[in-house]
A = this chain, B = another copy of it.
């Protein structure tokens, strides 16, 4: 219910540990898939946590800057999602085109590919995004 990483990170950045930051991070820790700002806001409201939507936007930015949370932009969704980074290995997602269910993929086939791309393009590769879409077991 209380994150040492959060306190440490905020302090190191000259920022403050607040109720809202703990509430948002805690919600993300309990949520097993990437969630939108609106979903964070609505879920906190259900739990009677008083927070403004704007504060949620600002908070996910702070958590992202601290490296505690990752921003996930799924194809054609029109809004960002966020998921906890701490304690999770690098992974990608697959999303159902019909019901919107998002499932984690625990493999990433791109480590070897990166070197090939660097040789081909003369870029230094820093990051990548990968997403699959299709039909989930219920909708197929």
The reply to whether A132 and B136 contact each other, CB–CB distance below 8 Å, is: no
A126 with B135, Cβ < 8 A, contacts A109-B109, A110-B109, A116-B107 known: yes
Binds B, one of A15-23, A24-32, A34-42, A70-78: A70-78
> Which residue of B75, B103, B126 is within 8 Å of A123 (Cβ)?
B103
Q: How many residues of A contact B (CB 8 A)?
A: 37
The reply to whether B122 and A137 contact each other, CB–CB distance below 8 Å, is: yes
Interface residue ranges, A against B (CB under 8 Å): 71, 73, 75-76, 94, 96-97, 103, 105-107, 109-110, 113-114, 116-118, 120-137, 140
Identify 23 residue pairs between A and B in the complex whose beta-carbon atoms are under 8 Å apart, listed by A's number.
A94-B125, A109-B113, A114-B132, A117-B132, A121-B136, A121-B137, A122-B140, A123-B132, A123-B134, A123-B135, A123-B137, A123-B140, A125-B132, A125-B133, A126-B133, A126-B134, A127-B132, A127-B133, A128-B132, A129-B130, A129-B131, A130-B130, A130-B131
